[in-house]
Amino acid sequence: MDPVFIIVFVVIGIVIFSIAFFNKNAIIKRKLKKARIKRVLSFYTNDVAKVVGKVEFVDEPIRAPLSGRACAYYHVIVEQQKSSGKSSHWHTIINETNQCKYLIRDGNSYAFVEDNNLKSYIVKDKKFRSGFLNDATPELERYLKQHGKTSENLLGMNKTIRYREGILENGEQVAVYGKGRWKEADQLGLPEAYGRVLVLSAPDNEAVYLSDDPSTLGEGVYR
């Protein structure tokens, strides 16, 4: 076999592996999979570990912009296909997250996730497309216009666009990694009935990691 071909093959393999390994979502999932898991009630102040529990609304839920589902948190990515010569690629035109106040329930204990330095991977379970012979729905068009975008080009032809949405629903299981400290519910602007709540914040030189990907829940998923 030609040595040049082998070198090119190896280089391509290394590039593909590097992209997959260092991809933001892969990093988040890997961090959560490897993290030590603890029950909320067993946390001491400044413990750093992963909590697995169920999302519980505190505020009135927000609505996911593409599907209209009630949720505590959503992440929407909209990408437009761009062509350059014989090749094409997807260019992100909207990358939006939003949330209301929510807690993570583990048995009868609760954790509150600080979002100052949050890295999340939310499974995109709703997907839409618009393009040739496939007009954007009024809901998709409205969302694009809210962000100063449109589904058509200057000639009135449809752009090729894909839309992906992921949410945190009430009762959905999630994994959260962070440093814990205890606070009274009223200190967090929560109803006093919640009592003491574990606040999960970013450990030193790290971030808070959150995901609803089933692979991140690991052993000890508490129901």
pLDDT in tens, 76-117: 999 999 988 788 999 999 999 999 999 999 999 999 999 889
pLDDT in tens, 142-171: 999 999 999 999 999 999 999 999 999 999
Residue type, 78: V
Distance CA 171, CA 165 (A): 18
Strands 73-84 and 70-71: unpaired
pLDDT in tens, 15-52: 333 333 337 899 999 999 999 999 999 999 999 999 99
pLDDT at 23: 74
Name the pLDDT band for 223 (thresholds 50, 70, 90). very low
Contact 94, 78 (CB under 8 A): yes
pLDDT > 90: percent of the chain: 83
